[in-house]
Structure 1
């Protein structure tokens, strides 16, 4: 029997709208424990696909009849088989189209706000991986910051709103996901910017982002001011946009701060991280709206699905910004860290242009949640 399919965009809307959903995840227990689709009102049952090959009778009493039911697997094939069996048993179910691979890749654009002279800023929420990227639009031109590798999402959205991508910027050399920055710049014939202290080993040409640089978007001169803020990497650079928004990269998140160990130099970079957060950022206006490059947990999403908070509020609520003792701070960001991102060393080399991998390998390397924070 043919079963319904549910797209990752439809599931994303359920997350944003805090709707009910029952998910039967048929991946292995270890994969489910490491990473799953998260929603505030989602319920779960994890039973491996191979345990269901002889039938679903043993789990029918565990599946509710009053909620939407979604079957999830790695790539969207096994879930169809299980969904068909559940449908034959009389249940109304859907299968996630493309599985967790598609969930990892989906980018959902959310308008953050207006800028002067009819400019706009959009946040692209990579809901399945917690990555956040940005499009700044002014007078028909656009800049993309911290692009994911799915560059078609930015090109299609820019075309839809009548904008041409003229600048592409990375806040730092990413280690948890493959940057689409260089590829997008080539596709859009745009200028690619990268902090030079993170680019000492790159194999391609770029424009150096230095402290105080201004990248102007459109004739209305919405300036992106580069603010050197090392700590997560030695080159980490934040951007103050239109004197209104602070794009913090992986230095500061809503509920945590950036980890300094992904290049193996945690002990060397702890002081830089503290200097960026406790001195440089404290000198900035508190009303700036912080827009990070990642979120960690679903609770960080606002009502519209966006991720943001004022800098002054974060200095009140973010534990990582309120550790007076330097030794305690050092301990927080160097000990008891979460596991390092999947294949992060190889991802760094891809982002340097040293190696290339095909699409299937790239998808495998990015599977799982981001792990850029200290929590």
Structure 2
């Protein structure tokens, strides 16, 4: 048997299409338990690489017969060696190119809607990390919202569409991933917008984004309306795009709500979070399609791989939006928090411009799942 190579893009397609996939993950158990490739029809077994140095004979009965196996490790090296041993045993086997680092960084672009006068909005699904970013396109211009540090994906996508990036936004100061907003703005000459209440310690120039502001993309009146919605951070700002879409940042997700503690201010900001979700958002149209900045579980993906749901549906089904008692809401938000994101303080400082880690360090800082939501 010959060892095959499977890319993060190919694995993403299998997850979105709910195809069968059996994974042999050879990372250490703690890394596997913290973060793994998941999907509706994905099955896996975890056997650390060091347990396989003498061969794979002892795990053959744990593997399915007549089914392709994908071997996964952190960076690909260990998975290649294990895949070669399995191939010698006659197993149809592939390894994940670039390992979990590649899985963490892959972005899948999905068109989520049409705007007036030919405009479009795209969602970039970072399936291995749960991050969601956006590009609004209209009449030769584009705006990017909540970009990741993989900036080439956005600039190349815009180039392929034949549009110029003129505006870049961050809905808030991110703590779970490094923003590429400033880099994109510097390379394209675009205006970089940041909520000023989140930017008191930044070291670079930016355009202050305040609630009520409107930015036009192209000449066709596609407007991005800023809605001040603190709670996840004190500056968190949502966007209503073309009166059709609500980009909710990390305030509201499909199956949960944003956590208020990543700047150490849970008790102070929980009231802002409730005000944003239970007052400001309830004044909006139920027909707005919510496009969050993250998803938590793979089940939140729609059939086309997008993450989106109408606001009215979320008010009916999202458990974070149905707690009438304010004291109970406070308990949920302040006592039911998952572990904080890996290296989140360093990530915040990087997004402020206070740290400038090299590319490999940035990768290491981001490894693992996002943890932006209340459980």
Q: TM-score, normalised by structure 2?
A: 0.99
Which deviates more from structure 2 when the two are superposed, residues 159-168 or residues 230-239?
A: 159-168
- 1:259 to partner: Cα distance: 0.2
- 1:68 to partner: Cα distance: 2.5
Q: Which runs of 5+ in 2 are unaligned?
A: none
Aligned to 1:370: 370
1:51-108 CA-to-partner distances (Å, cap 9, x unmatched) read 0010000011111123331000000111000000000000010000000000000000
SS in 2 for 1:11: helix
Q: Distance in 2 between matches of 1:254 and 1:285?
A: 17
Aligned to 2:243: 243
* Structure-to-structure mapping, 1:149-298, within 5 angstroms: 149-298=149-298
The question of whether the paired residues in 1 share the 8 Å contact of 2:116 and 2:222 is answered with yes
Q: Distance in 1 between matches of 2:185 and 2:346?
A: 22
Q: Distance in 2 between matches of 1:215 and 1:143?
A: 10
Q: Distance in 1 between matches of 2:144 and 2:114?
A: 16
Q: Distance in 1 between matches of 2:72 and 2:82?
A: 9
Q: Distance in 1 between matches of 2:361 and 2:79?
A: 22
The question of whether the paired residues in 2 share the 8 Å contact of 1:20 and 1:67 is answered with no
Aligned to 1:148: 148
Paired residues in the alignment total 375
1:172-223 CA-to-partner distances (Å, cap 9, x unmatched) read 0000000111011111111100000000000000001011111111011200
- 1:163 to partner: Cα distance: 1.1
Q: Distance in 2 between matches of 1:247 and 1:162?
A: 24
The question of whether the paired residues in 2 share the 8 Å contact of 1:260 and 1:333 is answered with yes
Q: Distance in 2 between matches of 1:272 and 1:257?
A: 13
The question of whether the paired residues in 2 share the 8 Å contact of 1:214 and 1:224 is answered with yes
Q: Does 1:71 align with 2:90?
A: no
The question of whether the paired residues in 1 share the 8 Å contact of 2:109 and 2:125 is answered with yes
Q: Distance in 2 between matches of 1:336 and 1:145?
A: 29
Q: Distance in 1 between matches of 2:171 and 2:254?
A: 17
The question of whether the paired residues in 1 share the 8 Å contact of 2:67 and 2:92 is answered with no
Q: Distance in 2 between matches of 1:319 and 1:170?
A: 26
The question of whether the paired residues in 2 share the 8 Å contact of 1:20 and 1:68 is answered with no
1:290-315 CA-to-partner distances (Å, cap 9, x unmatched) read 00000000000000000000000000
SS in 1 for 2:117: coil
* Structure-to-structure mapping, 1:340-355, within 5 angstroms: 340-355=340-355
Q: Which runs of 5+ in 1 are unaligned?
A: none
The question of whether the paired residues in 1 share the 8 Å contact of 2:149 and 2:180 is answered with yes
Aligned to 1:59: 59
Q: Distance in 1 between matches of 2:3 and 2:339?
A: 38
Q: Does 1:357 align with 2:357?
A: yes
* Structure-to-structure mapping, 1:287-366, within 5 angstroms: 287-366=287-366
Q: TM-score, normalised by structure 1?
A: 0.99
SS in 2 for 1:117: helix
Q: Distance in 2 between matches of 1:309 and 1:113?
A: 12
Q: Distance in 1 between matches of 2:139 and 2:336?
A: 47
SS in 1 for 2:255: coil
Q: Distance in 1 between matches of 2:207 and 2:341?
A: 28
- 1:2 to partner: Cα distance: 5.0
Q: Distance in 1 between matches of 2:200 and 2:67?
A: 53
Q: Distance in 2 between matches of 1:163 and 1:63?
A: 48
Aligned to 1:47: 47
